Every structure is written in C-alpha cells, then in structure tokens.
A and B are shown apart, each in its own frame.
Chain A
C-alpha cells in the first residue's frame, strides 16, 4: 500500500537544461585554469596575495571540472548508457560530490585568506612583509587544502548526519560575517584617509580633487558591493537550501524552495565564472600575463 497521499506535487522540480550547465562549466574551467597557469608561470606573481588568488582559482577549477563531469554522467545515464544506481556509478558520484564539497569549502577559505591578506596589507602595512612571508603563505595554503580534503571526505561519508551540515552552514555564516567586517573596515579607513587628503588646503585644485576623491570612493563602494554581493547572491541560496533540508523537510513551502535546487547549483557555478573577473582580472600584472600567454608572445622577459 502506498503511503503517499498525493500523486502530483504543485512545485515540480525546475530543470536546468544540460547545455547551460556545460557552457558555464567549460567557460569557468578555462578562465580559472588560465589564472592558475598565469600565476604559476610568471615569477613576479609569486607573492602571498597572488598565491591566495591562485588557490581560489584552483578550487574553482576543481568545482567546474567535477560539476561538468557529473552533468556528463547524468546526461549519459538519462540516455541509457550508464546505470543510475550501479555501484561503480555511486562510488564515482561520491568522488565527485566530495570534490565539489572540497572546492566549496576551499573557495570560502580562499576568500577569507584574501580578505585577511588585504586587511594586513592595509592595517599592518609596515610589518606586512614580515607577517606574511612566502613560507607562511605556503603553510597556510597547505593547511587550507588539507582541511578541505578531510572535510570533503567527512561530509560525503557522513552526509546523513545533521551535525556535518550544521557545521557547514555555521562555517559559511562565520566566514560571511568575517569577510563583510574586514572589507567594510578597510573601506572605511580608505575613504577616511582619502577624504583627509582631499580636504587638504591647496591653491586651485581643491574642487577637482574632491570630485575625484568622491568618484573614487563611489567606485570603491561599487567594487565592494559587487564583491560581497556576488558572494552572498551566489552562495546564499544553496546554504538556505541546506538549512531548509534540516529544518523543515516536510513543509510544502520548503518543498517549493527545494524544487529550485538546480537553479541554485547554477548560481554556485556562475560564481566560479565571475570570480576571476572580480579578483584576478583587476590586477594589471595578471592581465599583462594573460595577454602574453594568449597571444603566445615571448613572456619570459
């Protein structure tokens, strides 16, 4: 006897077409791979700040790769070449899920590391060079990658346990708050400082300097909003999804939210797509390296 009381759900799951997944996956894979290769090949970019950006791009590469691979397998399974519940397919699915988890956790750690690095650059500028040495950067990156590997394994192995998911969500919220605080604090200091400079008494350029300062500050506010807003918009829905799974699995409203799962995963992948634009492509030296690499001219100047 069937225990279900309804046959048709009012909130059918929203399916995202596979070509969209593939496009986003391939483009973000190419971009992030380019960033990783550029940072590794150009010796001028062997500094802590670029190492963290490179690590972020590496995690995004892994995420795009595993998600694209998973989509490929799903498409093949739908067509009939693969069996959805076969044991080897389940194992492969576990591997891909753990890679995805690893890249999610790693991305968040990398964002944190980049924010802390920028914070130290600004607030402890005189001692930055001694605080953030390359050895320490290497150690931090090693710790991040190890933690991500271990937590990925644990998360996939014990996914049914609620404790793991609670840890994940709490970790996300703490990182979000920390990143927000760091960037807003940095921005406040930058604007205060620029305002003081703009307020210096000079002969004739006071007005134009003030306008330029305001233009710069507006651009700073916009940059920060984009940076933080993209993070929240792309990562938020997925984590609210996790919260809803734990809190109200049976509620019809929650079910309607959960039916948008694939859209939320698309958002997550598109964050890997826009990350290089926000972090990496703003650095002139990196752009120069890209140009040299893509035009295949002699970059070893």
Chain B
C-alpha cells in the first residue's frame, strides 16, 4: 500500500485484475446476495413453470383443433362428396357433363393447391398423424404423378384414360384420392378409406415395387427416378 509519492502518482491502490469474461467457474464476481425479496431460484422456477404451461397449452390447443377445426370452403366438400359417391357405389359419374365436369372440378382442385390426399398428409409428415414411417413411401409416391401434372391440367386425366393398366391407376388413386375417381369408377373398390386415414407405411413401398414393371408407361423427367423406383424390388 504505497502512498502518493511521485508527482504523477495515482494515490490509489493498484486496480485489481478485473476482466469481464464469460467464465462461470470464477468466483470473483462481486454479486451480493443480501436483501433478496424472493427466492433466489425464482427465475429458474418461473422459467420452467412457464415452459411447462406453454407445452401443455400447445397440446390442448392441438387436440382442440382436431375436434373443432374451421371448415374449408365449399368446393372441397363438393369434391369430396363427389369422390365419395364414386368410392361407395362404384357407379360411373352421374354428372351430365361427364369428363368435362370432372375436368372443371379438377382444375378448381389444382388451382386451390390446398387439397391433397390425406395419405400424403399423414405419411409424408413423417409422424404427424401418427403414421409411423410412411414418410419415405409418401414422398416417393408424390414423385411419380407430379411430373405429368406439371404439364397441364388435362394431362393426368388423359393419361388415366389412356392407361389400360389397372395397377398404375391404383397407384395414382392412392396418391390423389379424389381426382382420378372422376375418370375411373371401377377402381373405387380398391381404395378404401382405411388406407387413406391410417397411412400404412408398407403399402406405398409395396405398390411401388409392384409397379416397377410398368414404369416405362410414364415419361420421366429424370432417369434417376426410374432407377430409384426400380430399386424397390
């Protein structure tokens, strides 16, 4: 403890080596614990309680959404009602327009872009909906028809009309449950709602495997798809 000797002496004791670093193992931080009103771990407790409340609230919100979700616009209900009549009765479309009305419905469907097969929903979300592991199959499924749909609205319908292969139609049906039923009513028996809801993980892969012989019917934009699809078997 030296006094202020020199003319430019500081007069103060040397500044302690205080360096602010984010080292939590040091105990030299001058934090005083006197006069605390609340419990010292109150931030910790508050944080964890808030987190638990948030997670539980989110869970209940999700379950509530499943019970009372907002209805979609009417066109969806129309399309699904149309599909349902084909599914259950196996009857040809009763609309007077025939293929044209199907096409207009289809165009509306495509333009909305919010309606997809629930198989895709449950399986490609990889667990949303509890379909354990249909993600790969679902994703692979969507690969196939979409390349033809890219070209135009009527292409899918034309291809379905032209393709005589039952298995191919079945594959398309499983991927887009509502659209192909406009054209093919005899396939209704093969598509049950069970498949659509539960999203069995094995089914897409099995069907893809079966269809690998008919893959040449479709034109693919990338040869890699063909290779990937043929690898199923």
B-contacting residues of A (Cβ < 8 Å)? 1-6, 9-11, 13, 43-50, 118, 121-130, 134, 159, 183-184, 186-198, 200-203, 209, 212-225, 227-229, 232-233, 236-237, 240, 244-245, 249-261, 278-279, 282-287
Contact = CB atoms under 8 A, between A and B. Distances in A.
Contact of A255 (B31, B55, B88): B31
Contact of A213 (B33, B84, B135, B197): B197
Given A250-B31, A252-B36, A188 B136 contact: no
Nearest to A228: B58
Given A47-B136, A219-B130, A186 B125 contact: yes
A90 to B, nearest CB: 12
**Secondary structure of the A contact surface, majority rule:** helix
B128 A233 contact: no
Contact of A6 (B33, B110, B130): B33
Interface of B: 13, 16, 18, 20, 22, 24-25, 27-33, 36, 38, 40-44, 47, 51, 54-55, 58-59, 62-63, 65-67, 69-72, 76-77, 80-81, 84, 88, 110, 113-118, 120-122, 124-140, 142-143, 146-147, 149-150, 193, 196-198, 201-202, 205, 224, 228, 231-232
B130 A216 contact: yes
Contacts of A48: 139
B88 A284 contact: no
A234 B146 CA distance: 38
A284 B22 contact: no
Nearest to A208: B194
Contact of B40 (A188, A244, A252, A284): A252
A187 B30 contact: no
B39 to A, nearest CB: 9
Given A188-B65, A225-B62, A284-B133, A198 B197 contact: yes
Contacts of A4: 28-30
Given A189-B114, A200-B84, A221 B59 contact: yes
B80 A194 contact: no
B129 A190 contact: yes
